[in-house]
């Protein structure tokens, strides 16, 4: 768990007079799950967006240690950052945000199809992930025919299908009840840290943070506290 896959050095981001991030530095190790917590406006979503290359920081460096070598994300343009997101990252959002017209398997296969993978191969890979996440037999269902928890597991499968090095999750259980939330979190951990990938979760939920290796507490754009856990995945599966 010592190999760093993602590194941020003195990252700063301001929106007009508001300082969202004030010189944040951190490292994310391989197979590590890191929770980012903090009050609204503390800068946690901005941190996730900078680490994920969704936005560029005003100052500081963000380095992704990809299998092909180190990559300075902060120096890339919008197209370059989009490519990094597509090829190296996976995303899970609060509302699954699946395409309602497509079936579960088509939603999961979509990133691969957009990357030019042949449909049969893309759907075979998507089916594998749906089975892994306990959604066997639901491949042909559309999001509207699935429960909230099932939809979120489809979103987890979509995040994993491209074999990303890091998965970013923004309040992935925010719209779910506690039992479903635990199941989704377990699925997320199994398919990320359990498979050698890293996970960065922005959350308000102490239960979600408790199952991560490390919790970063943000306030006024700074990491004010860092807490190391011994995650017990079984506690979230109850």
Partner 1 sequence: MRTASHLTLLLVRRGSDTSRASLALPVVAFAVVTALALTVLGGARFFFTIEGDLAAFYQSLAALAVTLLVIPLLTLCGSAARLSARRRDQHLSTLRLLGAPTHTLTWMTVLESTLLAAAGTVVGVLGHLALAPLLGLLVFHGERLGAGNILLGAAGTVLCAVALLALAAISSLLGLRGVTVSPLGVRTRQDVPRMSLVRLVAIGAALGAGLFAGQALQIDQGVVATVAGMVFTFGLTMAVLNLVGPWLLGVVARVQVRRATGRHAAERLLAARTVLDSPKAAWRQVSGVALTSFIAVFAGVGLAVTDAMAGSGASSQEDALLLADLRTGIALTLLISFVTVAASVAVNQAADILDRRELFASLERMGMPLLGMDRARRRAVLSPLRLVSLGSALAAATLIFPLAGIALLTNPLALVTTALLLAAGIALVWLTLLATSPLLARVARES
> Site residues (CB under 8 A) for partner 1?
52, 54, 81-87, 89-91, 93, 95, 97, 99-102, 106, 110-111, 113-114, 116, 118-120, 122
Contacts 24+ apart (CB under 8 A), 52-55: 52/85, 52/89, 52/91, 52/168, 52/200, 53/81, 53/82, 53/84, 53/85, 53/89, 54/81, 54/85, 55/13
Please tell me the total number of residues recorded for the chain in this structure. Answer: 238
Beta bridge pairs of residue 146: none
Phi, psi of 5, deg, nearest 5: -100, -25
> Is the separation of the CB atoms in 182 and 207 below 8 Å?
yes
For residues 176 and 211, which CB has a smaller minimum distance to partner 1 in the complex?
176
**CB nearer to partner 1: pick between 72 and 119:** 119
Q: How far is the CB of 138 from partner 1 (least distance, A)?
A: 17
Q: Which is nearer to partner 1, 114 or 195 (CB)?
A: 114
Query: Smallest distance from the beta carbon of 224 to partner 1, in angstroms?
Result: 27
The distance of closest approach from Cβ of residue 1 to partner 1 in the complex, given in angstroms and rounded to an integer, is: 26
Alpha carbon 227 to chain centroid, angstroms: 20
CB of 154 to partner 1, least distance (A): 13
DSSP tag of 58:
S
Q: Please, what is the minimum distance in Å from the beta carbon of residue 188 to partner 1?
A: 16
CA distance 188 to 204: 17
* Nearer to partner 1 among residue 91 and residue 203 (C-beta): 91
Distance of alpha carbon 122 from alpha carbon 184, whole angstroms:
23
* 45 versus 203: smaller Cβ distance to partner 1: 45
> Smallest distance from the beta carbon of 161 to partner 1, in angstroms?
11
Cα 214 from Cα 226, distance rounded (Å): 7
Find out whether 73 and 57 touch, Cβ atoms under 8 Å.
no
- Considering the complex, state which of residue 89 and residue 129 has its C-beta at the smaller distance from partner 1: 89
């Amino acid at each position: 768990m010592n190999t760093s896959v993602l590194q941020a050095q003195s990252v700063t981001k301001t929106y007009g007079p508001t300082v969202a991030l004030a010189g944040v530095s951190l490292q994310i190790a391989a197979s590590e799950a890191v929770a980012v917590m903090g009050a609204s406006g503390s800068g946690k979503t901005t941190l996730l967006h900078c680490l994920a290359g969704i936005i560029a920081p005003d100052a500081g460096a963000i380095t992704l240690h990809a299998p092909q070598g180190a990559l300075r994300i902060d120096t890339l343009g919008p197209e370059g950052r989009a490519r990094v997101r597509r090829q190296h990252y996976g995303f899970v959002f609060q509302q699954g945000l699946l395409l309602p017209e497509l079936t579960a398997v088509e939603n999961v296969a979509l990133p691969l199809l957009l990357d030019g993978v042949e449909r049969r191969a893309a759907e075979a890979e998507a089916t594998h992930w749906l089975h892994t996440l306990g959604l066997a037999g639901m491949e042909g269902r559309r999001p509207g025919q699935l429960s909230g928890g099932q939809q979120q597991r489809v979103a987890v499968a979509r995040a994993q299908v491209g074999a990303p090095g890091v998965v970013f999750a923004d309040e992935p259980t925010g719209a779910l009840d506690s039992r479903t939330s635990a199941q989704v979190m377990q699925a997320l951990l199994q398919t990320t840290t359990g498979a050698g990938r890293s996970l960065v979760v922005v959350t308000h939920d102490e239960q979600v943070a408790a199952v991560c290796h490390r919790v970063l507490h943000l306030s006024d754009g700074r990491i004010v506290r860092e807490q190391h856990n011994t995650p017990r995945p079984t506690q979230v599966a109850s």
